[in-house]
Structure 1
Amino acid sequence: MKRDEATVSNQNQQNLSSSLPGETTTMKISDALKKLDCLYLLDAFEERDVRTVLDLENVLMDKLLVSSSEVKEEDDREEDKDIEEEYMKKEVIEFIAEEFCFGEMKYAEKILEETKKELMTRKRNFNEEKKEKDTRTMTFGRMYSKTFLAKTTSLYDMHMGAENMGPFLYQLCRFTKPENVLEIGAGYTSVYLMQALRDNKKEIEVYERMREEHSCVVRNENPNGKDTPWSNEAYFSRKSEKRKTRETYEPQLHVVDNMAHAHTTAHLVKECSEELNVDDEENNFLVVHEADAFNPDLSATLAPGVQFDFLWIDLGAANRIETFLKNFWFRVKPGGYVAVHSTLTNSLSREWLEKMRMLARNGGKNADGSVSEYGVFETMSFLEPHKLFQNSFTIFQRRDAHPIDSSEYAEPVLTKFP
């Protein structure tokens, strides 16, 4: 190894050492010499600007790198590793003796041992601090509790086919952070959606506290370097769309149900949400609309002025989905999602779904080249293969700001690397 290469490696070692905890409290050379009863050697260390054990480590590392390259040039065989290590130790001791100890080998050996002890102590402290992670942003949520599952039992009915839909919708909303959600057909999934919104609010509040205390960052191990922000500044500096306040996230779930389905559990939703304390005076997430979802005026009169980030449609009337979605599509925010239950294995829904798939493949254009009511959108379907009914769902994402004469929605590019 060349001398300039050794210097670069030494600088890297210094950066590593300086990132270890205790940098400012590392043992002073004067304390080490006093401990070894050889304080008279202090001037020799100070002349070389070696004032702490950390300084000595860096000097020795430089020497160690040079000595190591000299040994390898002579013999690079694996079986001579022990000999090489012994040689380097001897070289370092001789170096300390000559440079700092007026040739006294016994003190050089003791100083080397003291240096090793200090290094091991700092590394051990560093590893212990690394274990103390900030877990505030880890996976959490009330859906994972036994209490939540027990309380939602009253809402469950096998014929509604939502036992896996509820958890999926919860996770989808936790991931995408929708602020305005519309559910058509209340019941088992309603509480999962409400809980997702409540847990989202708590998560965002945690991020806001971490931002205030400057801990929502990726730490730079180099003390002279800058930390990298972990949160998206644009998201946290926006105003809530619901009330135009400085609240970052103010979610609301609008539920529409006519209470007519034979197996409906919609009437139990409010009761269950109160038992779970999901919806209270402080966090009023739920707005129930007892109405006919197929009323042609509903899309214009329901929550006027609100564009929905997410729609969950569980109508139980496959032959009428097309009319409903056409009426409500303009209420979906560009980039927003629509999930429709039971779309794949019944002929009525499947016929409509194939039309939508064809439109998606054609970039939202009809067969004659004209722009459809939906504009550009994407779609994906999921199947539960073990069930005969209520065994699938399809997700659509709106990509256009407006079906006619518009630019496509696109997610922002925030960083160069993942």
Structure 2
Amino acid sequence: MTDPTSEALTGLTRPGMGTENAGPALRALTTMVRPRTVVEVGAGSSTLHLLLGLRDARAEAARDRRIVNGGTTAHERASVLHPRSAVDDYAPRLLVVDDISVPGTSADRVREAARDLGLDDMLTFIERDFFALTEEELDGWGPLDLVWLDAGTQGDDAAFLTSLWPRVAPGGTVVLHEPYLATTVETADQRGQTRVAARVVPTPLLQELRRQAAAPDSGMDVLALNEPHKHRQTGLLLLRKHAAWERDRGASFAEELKALGETGSTEPPRLGPPRTPRRSGAEEGADRVLAALADATRRTVYSAVVLLPDTAQGVGERLGMSAERTAKALAALEKAGLVTRTESGWAPADDIWREVSPRRAQPPARTTIPARRGKRRVFLENLVQLFEPQRRYPESAVNDLLRDTDPDVAALRRYLVEEQLLARADGWYWRP
């Protein structure tokens, strides 16, 4: 017996066109997110997949509505449903924009296929160039729950997003096709010889969106799904706009696990590479001093100034050095903070050594770790001053710093990490 759905999809799909995974994924995603308004730019076989997903979602929503209203008994299903499932009828719609200008596509046949399958009641086909639509027409669509972009170039996709993203509803999703592209890149081997090689790389759009999503309060998630066995028609790119209820609550991972009653490890996962510690002013000053004194001429001039402050001419005459070399060395030493000008000439700047010398905080007097959390927090905030901000310490160094406070260094380490006063990853500790 012939399956009308399979037959319709076969009529819209060319063998080898590369959408064999993207289409079913769109159908499943549509059923999962249960959108009310879906927009597709670029009609084709994906149009039918979206309509089939909406059909499945509509049927599932009708069943859920009967369960929540008590018309059907299904206790396990009822236990997972949100009460709002019974508030309104679910009447989804798909708006498809395509000017049918690309030859060889199935865009001009999707309306007939939808009609044959009885899905055309959810379909509105807008046979226009997307960029010819007015702002008023776009606003008339209302909030968009799901957008599928499968037409045009990288620049076109950027323009689609610029126009549609502000209209995407909170919690809504935008899906784009082919987040990776095949190109040629120039590579160099260990001997420095270059060669041209074929590579599949993230598209410029994917790179840009990842940068934007990494910014604090970006309000969106980015997920790229790759098909590693292909170099064209590769995967899907999903962008999801955060809803208001997804805002950061401000509490730490450990605090929220405790509030949920979970026991055991309360350390958050550290998935990225360890952050490069930010250098302190003392460390940067020490680098300048070392760089200045790495030159033999500067060391000689600095020694002469330390032994006897003098004018540049006097320093040069004592060293048998030309006025140009002496002046150049003194300028570099002054920039590093090692020497300073006075009314009588050049003198050593002794403060620089106090600024760049390493400091170790004095440990608190040996005491007992407070049992009450409030007092323990104050105790730990004083204790963490032993650690320089952003400097990375191996566990042995942490133990050495803590041992003068209490012999139970393991407990102190654990408390400092739990209170997020120290961070830990791969055997290293640092004070954020």
Q: What TM-score do the two structures reach when normalised by structure 1?
A: 0.51
In 2 relative to 1, CA 309–205 (structure 1 residues): closer, same or farther, beyond 3 Å? same
The alpha carbon displacement at 1:342 in A equals 1.2
Report the counterpart of residue 305 of structure 2 in structure 1.
none
Aligned counterparts, 1:18-417, within 5 A: 146-158=3-15, 160-211=17-68, 212-213=70-71, 215-218=73-76, 229-237=79-87, 239=88, 247=89, 249-279=90-120, 284-295=121-132, 297-302=133-138, 304-346=140-182, 350-363=203-216, 375-399=218-242, 408=247
* Aligned residues of 2:139 and 2:167 also touching (Cα < 8 A): no
Question: 1:322-357 deviations in whole A, cap 9, x for unaligned?
Answer: 122011111100110000011212569711210110
In 2 relative to 1, CA 409–302 (structure 1 residues): closer, same or farther, beyond 3 Å? farther
Q: Which residue identity lines up with residue 242 of structure 2 in the other structure? A: R
Distance 1:214 1:277 in 2: 26
Which structure 1 residue ranges, 5 or more long, are not aligned?
A: 1-144, 220-227, 240-246, 365-374, 411-415
Q: Which residue identity lines up with residue 119 of structure 2 in the other structure? A: V
* Aligned residues of 1:187 and 1:266 also touching (Cα < 8 A): yes
Q: Which residue identity lines up with residue 290 of structure 1 in the other structure? A: E
The alpha carbon displacement at 1:400 in A equals 5.6
In 2 relative to 1, CA 189–305 (structure 1 residues): closer, same or farther, beyond 3 Å? closer
Which structure 2 residue ranges, 5 or more long, are not aligned?
A: 184-200, 250-259, 262-432
Distance 2:94 2:21 in 1: 20
Task: Count matched residues.
Answer: 232
**CA root-mean-square deviation:** 2.8
Q: Which residue identity lines up with residue 232 of structure 1 in the other structure? A: H
In 2 relative to 1, CA 378–255 (structure 1 residues): closer, same or farther, beyond 3 Å? same
Distance 1:394 1:170 in 2: 15
Moved over 6 A (4+): none
* Aligned residues of 2:64 and 2:85 also touching (Cα < 8 A): no
Q: Percent identity?
A: 27
In 2 relative to 1, CA 378–267 (structure 1 residues): closer, same or farther, beyond 3 Å? same
In 2 relative to 1, CA 152–342 (structure 1 residues): closer, same or farther, beyond 3 Å? same
Distance 2:104 2:233 in 1: 13
Of structures 1 and 2, the one with the larger relative CO (CA 8 A, separation 6+) is 1
Report the counterpart of residue 355 of structure 2 in structure 1.
none
Report the counterpart of residue 420 of structure 2 in structure 1.
none
Distance 1:409 1:189 in 2: 35
Instruction: Provide the secondary structure at the position in 2 that maps to 1:287.
Output: strand
Distance 1:159 1:183 in 2: 22
The alpha carbon displacement at 1:176 in A equals 1.0
* Aligned residues of 1:314 and 1:340 also touching (Cα < 8 A): yes
Distance 1:173 1:353 in 2: 22
The alpha carbon displacement at 1:399 in A equals 1.3
In proportion to residue count, which structure has more strand?
Answer: 2
* Aligned residues of 2:51 and 2:122 also touching (Cα < 8 A): yes
Distance 1:303 1:289 in 2: 15
Distance 2:228 2:209 in 1: 22
Question: 1:243-273 deviations in whole A, cap 9, x for unaligned?
Answer: xxxx2x1100000012122332111001111
* Aligned residues of 2:143 and 2:167 also touching (Cα < 8 A): yes
Distance 2:106 2:113 in 1: 10
Question: 1:159-211 deviations in whole A, cap 9, x for unaligned?
Answer: 75322111000000111111110001001010111111112111111122233
In 2 relative to 1, CA 162–341 (structure 1 residues): closer, same or farther, beyond 3 Å? same
The alpha carbon displacement at 1:154 in A equals 1.3
The alpha carbon displacement at 1:292 in A equals 1.2
Distance 2:4 2:62 in 1: 23
Q: What TM-score do the two structures reach when normalised by structure 2?
A: 0.49
Question: 1:132-159 deviations in whole A, cap 9, x for unaligned?
Answer: xxxxxxxxxxxxx943112211111357
In 2 relative to 1, CA 305–151 (structure 1 residues): closer, same or farther, beyond 3 Å? closer
